[in-house]
Structure 1
Amino acid sequence: MTKAILIAFLLCKSFTSCAQSTSIWKNKKCAVALTYDDAINIHLDKVIPALDSAGLKGTFYLIGSSDAFTKRIPEWRKAAANGHELGNHTLFHPCYGKRPGREWVRPDYDLNIYTLQRMTDEVKMNNALLEATDGKKKRTLACPCGDTKIGDSSYLYGVKDNFVAIRDATPDAYDVNGFGGVNIQWVTVINNSGDQLIAAVKKAMESNALLVFVFHGVGGDHAINVSAQAHRELLQFLKKNESQVWVAPFIEIAENIKRK
């Protein structure tokens, strides 16, 4: 896959609102959410130990039907008890299958054949599975592939009351979240170097932003991947700069934004 760094910006409405946003980040320069999608084994085997070693907490968006979830529930329960967030990534990870590069989407889970009711039911069922795992009722959602519409309607409006926030950069997710003029920056991590990941954090520090990293594979186990070395360099930078950067699960950051 071509090396790329994809960053989307929701700019503050004014310089004043950016400057004031430091109070949202617990009086640090920025906030960083380390999020990991798709419930894959390497998250338990490599990523969580790396985060724990650095004293950092991440958000793991879990697919309820994934073997890496269903066969390792006690380990996910332990991760949640240790402060990591278990987020909802739907029951079967449905996406639009008729788009370039989407040949991997199974026909039964092609979002083009879904109804709003089916999607809502599957999202709520995954919440029930996650609550049975970690005992928590508050949750955030990450939409598979960033696809949110069934026909012409977004399913987010039907499930929004079940979530603290939606971790996505789509217009309907921003509308549902109601974060206002908060500066949010996104990095979908695809073969980035450690220097590129660190540069994104430095940019967030300069602009008092919330920076959301979207990881999949880390050192393998997924087609969307970043090297373990690059990931390790990012964690080391974050740990070294913890006096200026607030690193927390996405749900904690979202709740703080809403309180402020």
Structure 2
Amino acid sequence: MPSAKPSAAPIVWPNGKKVALSLSFDDARLSNVDKGTVLLDQYDVKATFFVVPSAVKKRLEGWKKAVASGHEMGNHSVNHPCSGNFTWSREKALEDYTGEKMRAELIEANKQVQELLGVKPEVFAYPCGQMFVGRGKTTQSYVPIVSDLFISGRGWRNEAPNDPAYCDMAQIYGMEMDGKDFNEIKDLIETARKTGQWLVLAGHETAESGGQTTRLAMLKQLCEYAKDPANGVWIAPIGTVAKYVNKQRN
């Protein structure tokens, strides 16, 4: 699913909005459907959840409810492979993958998510934000595979919002929201708004506190800010924004 080519003209957001914002969460953590979607639904804010099928099974009814309420389900692989430099990933190390093996795993993940939740993922997030397979001279990017299978591929801990007229949809930037307070996130939104950019936020747990956690208190403030028409924010899932941008580019 190759994305449209860069546009010479700036992207105009719908309904006069000045900035696009997408919230995304990785791994299908239990807290996402125990607490996160409950809060988001109170504000009619829909997010993208990049899920691992084995984790979905632990809260299957909760994830089915999330789909029914309009949240987007994305592909996050079957095994969550990362570099074997992380000792916990040594048995599923990207260094030991080939492009063929990765393609097969992403197709299988799509199949399992569709069987579990009735939707086929159209968007992907790179586990650990790492986009390679192999080692040394055999290293290859698997970005082309993601581009072929999905309308977008999101990174992790990137440093900037996305320029919607130019960005590569297979390598969109995802900025971390775990552990951040609202003022830090507000600054990112206001910076992106100055040039009409697309800010993609990425997190994991949705709870009151803890490691790798997007705090619920921050998320509440964020939803209230984004839903206030005076702030000019279009908040929508990654796939929704990606399709809109591609249509504008074309």
TM-score normalised to structure 1 length: 0.80
2:210 matches 1:249: no
Indicate conservation of the 8 Å contact 2:67/2:117, yes or no. Answer: yes
CA offsets 1:39-65 (integer angstroms, 9 cap, x no match): 100000111011000111000000122
Task: Quote the residue 2:69 is aligned against.
Answer: 82
Selected match of 1:42 from 17, 25, 31:
31
Report deviation, 1:241.
3.7
Aligned-partner residue type, residue 181 of structure 1: Y
Aligned ranges 1:39-188 → 2 under 5 Å? 39-66=28-55, 69-98=56-85, 102-103=86-87, 105-137=88-120, 139-151=122-134, 152-168=139-155, 180-181=165-166, 186-188=174-176
- The alpha-carbon distance between structure 1 residues 41 and 157, as it changes in their structure 2 partners (threshold 3 A), is same
TM-superposed CA distance for 1:32, in Å, is 0.4
Which of 19, 29, 49 lines up with 1:30 in the alignment? 19
Counterpart in the other structure of 2:217 = 229
Q: Contact 2:146/2:152 (CA < 8 Å) preserved in 1?
A: no
- Which residue of 190, 195, 213 corresponds with 1:207? 195
Structure 2: tracts of 5 or more residues without a match: 1-5
CA distance in structure 2 between the partners assigned to 1:64 and 1:222 by the alignment: 24
In the TM superposition, residue 185 of structure 1 has moved relative to its aligned partner by 6.2
CA gap of 1:170–1:79, structure 2 versus 1, over 3 A, is: closer
Structure 1 range deviating more: 73-82 or 38-47? 73-82
What amino acid maps onto 1:198 in structure 2?
Answer: K
Per the TM alignment, residue 257 of structure 1 is displaced from its structure 2 partner at its CA by: 0.6
Contact 2:22 2:199 in 1 (8 A): yes
Task: Tell me how far 1:76 sits from its aligned partner.
Answer: 1.2
Is 1:197–2:185 an aligned residue pair? yes
The CA distance in 1 between the partners of 2:131 and 2:173, in whole Å, is 20
Could you tell me how far apart the structure 2 residues matched to 1:240 and 1:154 are? 41
- Structure 2: how far apart are the matches of 1:159 and 1:190? 25
Q: Distance in 1 between matches of 2:230 and 2:60?
A: 31
Identity over aligned residues, as a percent?
A: 27
Residue 54 and residue 165 in structure 1: after superposition, are their counterparts in 2 closer, same or farther (change >3 A)? same
The offset of 1:188, in angstroms, is 1.0
Counterpart secondary structure, 1:55: coil
> Structure 1 residues 134 and 119 mapped into 2: Cα distance closer, same or farther (>3 Å)?
same
Q: Which amino acid aligns with 1:258?
A: N
Unaligned 5+ residue runs, structure 1? 1-12, 172-177
1:221 CA drift (Å): 8.2
